[in-house]
Amino acid sequence: MKISFIMQSYLGEYPGSRANADIKFIRAVNSFLDQTHKDSELIIVSDGCERTHQIYYDLFKSEDRVKYVYVDKDTPNMYEGETKYYRGFPRQIARSLVTGEVTTYMDSDDFLLPSAAKILSNVWEQSSDKTWALIDRWYDNIAMKEAITTASVIVENETRTVKGLESEWNICRMSHPTLVMQATWAISHRSDASPKWKDVVGESYSEDTLFSRTLIADYGLGAGFLIPFAYYVRCHYSKLWDY
């Protein structure tokens, strides 16, 4: 089964942003290229980011499994100003380039384990009657163990290193099946699913929460499932860690 990853990229600075965005973007793309399951593709969508544009043409244009689209930006940057502007529309543009049966997402400063596409292919082949899925387990830095303040997330005790990353990492999971992670990178769905990514302005929820809620509302709880295998590493959490 072909898996399509979409990565929206803006490498500029904003409140709470990651350091060394260029280096982390290159690392994220390379973690995709290192996938053991080669029946996969990455669509990079530049959110008006000239630096993303330059790096793609300098380093990745010749990669057959990497596609690229530039979306002109005439909106505020995310997380800047008193009115929150959550940017989602570029991902919808990127969906027009998808050729895989299943679409998922990654952030430009995060990291995929080499088994990510294979895990997604396997679980979706076994779920032919489903339309959407959410990650139930992922990797966070060991700093999460000390920082966690909510009973909704459990940090497992066993730590591991990840080749290509510094520090140590723990698997995190939601504490109950009724609780779900709705971050962009936690979402996968049939590529022909009808909900659309949209910008969200001045709301208490973000663009990824809107998209995942719409998926669930349009198709119902019975059309979804949780993925119990950890393959995604969250490398940046504002004010807690940045690797």
pTM of this prediction?
0.94
> Alpha-carbon distance 188 to 132, whole Å?
6
Closest CA to 105 of 3, 241, 229, 215: 3
Domain residues for the domain of 50 are 3-242
* Residue 149: per-residue pLDDT: 63
Closest CA to 11 of 20, 21, 1: 21
* Residue 81: per-residue pLDDT: 60
Scan for tokens 């008193």, then name that residue.
82
By CB atoms closer than 10 A (0-12, 13-18, 19+), residue 194 is exposed
Closest CA to 206 of 217, 195, 198: 198
* Residue 148: per-residue pLDDT: 73
Per residue of the chain (243 residues), give pLDDT as tens: 999 999 999 998 765 567 899 999 999 999 999 999 999 999 999 999 999 999 999 999 999 999 999 999 877 666 566 678 899 999 999 999 999 999 999 999 999 999 999 999 999 999 999 999 999 999 999 999 888 766 788 999 999 999 999 999 999 998 887 788 999 999 999 999 999 999 999 888 999 999 999 999 999 999 999 999 999 999 999 889 999
* Residue 208: per-residue pLDDT: 96
CA 14 to chain centre: 19
Sign, Cα dihedral of 86, 8, 181, 139: negative
Angstrom CA distances, 3 to 60, 138, 180, 214, 243, stand at 19, 18, 22, 21, 26
CATH number of domain containing 211: 3.90.550.10
* Residue 99: per-residue pLDDT: 98
Start-to-end Cα distance in the chain: 31
* Residue 83: per-residue pLDDT: 75
> Alpha-carbon distance 51 to 10, whole Å?
8
- Tell me how many domains the chain contains: 1
Residue 93 structure tokens: 């543009």
* Residue 79: per-residue pLDDT: 57
* Residue 204: per-residue pLDDT: 86
